């Protein structure tokens, strides 16, 4: 069974985000970019399925600019078998991504698609759900455990205040949560080997998909900066301030 893993190139999670001066979005010029952390978890899960003899081939797909090749090479160095870059320099919204993935799936016919639960740049948490709706496949979102059986998958999901276990029939769309696994680091020999693994380049037009945005960003703002704290001299003064000034007790 083939497993397809969509991976997105995003601003590295360690970078302190800066908003562009005109408020049109986040400044990504000269900023370190990496694979979306939830997508690393998705790749790791696919590799574990292959190591357990439950998956035959792992295909990593990215929609993005030429530099997204680096993200795909990381996926290949971790253990994916081949990669597809659908080149698009402008931002593609989740609906456009889902439509492109549906078109790739029509060609590749994977038995399972594992995505990240959300991309940490747009925080949309939409692509997996939209993809499953477009395909008419079952979806298991926020997975913290995945077990493959004959024609079905048992998925433990992280829900508010607990865990839920569901069974879905394959093919299915799964989205990875933080606790699904701890992704491996790519070793140097594997980074070298990854350079020789196949990476195909396509365009949205090759799949006949219109990726024009449906949304318009009106403005992007930095969060309000925190006010400086004060030191109080005693517990009664603290209680008084919490009552009279902060109004929290």
| Residues lying near ligand AMP in the complex (CB under 6 A) | 6-8, 36, 38-39, 42, 61-64, 92, 94, 97, 115-116, 118-119, 122, 124-128
* Nearer of residues 34 and 36 to ligand AMP, judged by Cβ: 36
* Nearer of residues 87 and 241 to ligand AMP, judged by Cβ: 87
**Least distance to ligand AMP, CB of residue 39, Å:** 5
* Nearer of residues 201 and 237 to ligand AMP, judged by Cβ: 201
DSSP string, the chain: -EEEEE--EEE-TTSPP-B-TTSSSB--TT--EEE-HHHHHHHHHHHHHHHTTS-SEEEEEEEE-TTHHHHHHHHHHHT-SEEEEEE-SS---HHHHHHHHHHHHHHH--SEEEEES--TTT----HHHHHHHHHT-EEEEEEEEEEEETTEEEEEEEETTEEEEEEEESSEEEEE-GGG--PPPPPHHHHHHHTTS-EEEE-GGGGT-----S-------PPPPPPPP---SSHHHHHHHIIIII---
Q: Which residue is nearest to ligand AMP (CB)?
A: 116
**Least distance to ligand AMP, CB of residue 150, Å:** 26
**Least distance to ligand AMP, CB of residue 181, Å:** 15
* Nearer of residues 42 and 168 to ligand AMP, judged by Cβ: 42
């Amino acid at each position: 069974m083939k497993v397809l893993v969509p991976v997105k190139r995003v601003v590295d999670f360690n970078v302190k985000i800066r908003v562009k001066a005109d408020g049109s979005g986040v400044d990504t010029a000269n900023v370190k970019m990496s694979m979306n952390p939830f997508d690393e978890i998705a790749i790791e899960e696919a590799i574990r399925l292959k190591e357990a003899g439950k998956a035959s081939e792992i295909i990593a797909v990215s929609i993005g600019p030429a530099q997204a090749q680096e993200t795909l090479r990381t996926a290949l160095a971790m253990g994916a078998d081949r990669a597809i870059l659908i080149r698009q320099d402008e931002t593609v919204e989740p609906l456009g991504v889902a439509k492109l993935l549906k078109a790739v799936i029509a060609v590749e016919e994977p038995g399972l698609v594992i995505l990240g639960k959300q991309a940490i740049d747009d925080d949309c948490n939409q692509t997996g759900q939209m993809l499953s709706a477009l395909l008419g496949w079952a979806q298991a979102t926020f997975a913290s455990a995945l077990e493959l059986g004959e024609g079905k998958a048992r998925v433990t999901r992280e829900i508010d205040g607990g865990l839920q276990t569901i069974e879905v029939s394959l093919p299915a769309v799964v989205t990875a949560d933080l606790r699904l696994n701890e992704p491996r680091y790519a070793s140097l020999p594997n980074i070298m080997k990854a350079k020789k693994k196949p990476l195909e380049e396509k365009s949205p037009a090759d799949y006949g998909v219109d990726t024009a945005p449906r949304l318009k960003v009106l403005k992007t703002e930095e969060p309000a900066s925190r006010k400086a704290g004060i030191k109080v001299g005693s517990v009664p003064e603290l209680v008084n301030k919490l009552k009279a000034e902060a109004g929290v007790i």
